Chain A
């Protein structure tokens, strides 16, 4: 478990390669099969394969399922609620990034201090 300071440990990029079976995903996330099925039904995670026995999940599914589990455990959200939260969080993230770009372009327009005549 120890990792010396000198030898860096390669980190794998989380990809879309589908490697986990349904049982493996359940085991790695410590959740039940029925719960994963609900996440799939809501489109939160998208396995390859048609039936549960053929499903193959990517490592991204592990991250998403773990995050979904935290929302379930900490906030008592059901899968439909979690799906909505995921969508809204993604949208907020996108808007924030966009706002960042716009805010900077805007600030360059307003470099001169406002001159406002005193109100009568």
Chain B
């Protein structure tokens, strides 16, 4: 059974977060074999996942943010 491109995109997104079921993954790969547009989307989408996991994010710890907020509020009320 052939799935639509919308469905394929949906399954592809879910796959990026390991949330596509086995059936969905099979249906997706069949669709990708015959749909050029979706294969393009799929490979870019996979690459985006890769980029996001490779990127270095230095997140400020929540405690630091709280401190910043407090100091900002203090400065604002003066």
A and B together in one complex: no
